[in-house]
Chains A and B, each alone.
Chain A
């Protein structure tokens, strides 16, 4: 059971927009810690997608955007492309656990 809760899967057709939610609590996201997002294809190196809630690293498409409100956060992917099919993880810090925590991951399927 992950500390941060994500939907196991989402799907969308090419060109559509999808969102992936990440629910935390008052010890992590609600405590003011930043939320970060990663894209991961099993067997490969995870890739930082969004940092500091809503910032994109250089080289990441502007089709990816992040937001945070209260004890939750969201990743939005617009203009879906086949190459976006991957696993996505949110991550934050937890003051009660005194460590870094991930969501359980969401598998995105492009129909």
Chain B
């Protein structure tokens, strides 16, 4: 068990550029979650997957955000046409997916949009 891995740890980009983050969950974990955290706030739910199926996407998430989990293993989160307001820590978490249970978080990807 190597834990949840996120890549990159840091990303600096210019406004208008596209960025993609990767998350590798704990192996055999069926559930995968994406959260966003800004300074002074708690993790804000973005979306989650059960295997390769996307179960829910937050209403707060604009169409510029898209997430995939094509083979039910790793996941990618893409932000198109980045804006300064997208600057945040993007956290990925996974769980075995047998019901409501604790999440195992990665260390996050810190995005800075200049």
A and B assemble together: no
Could you tell me which A residues sit within 8 Å of B by CB distance? Answer: none
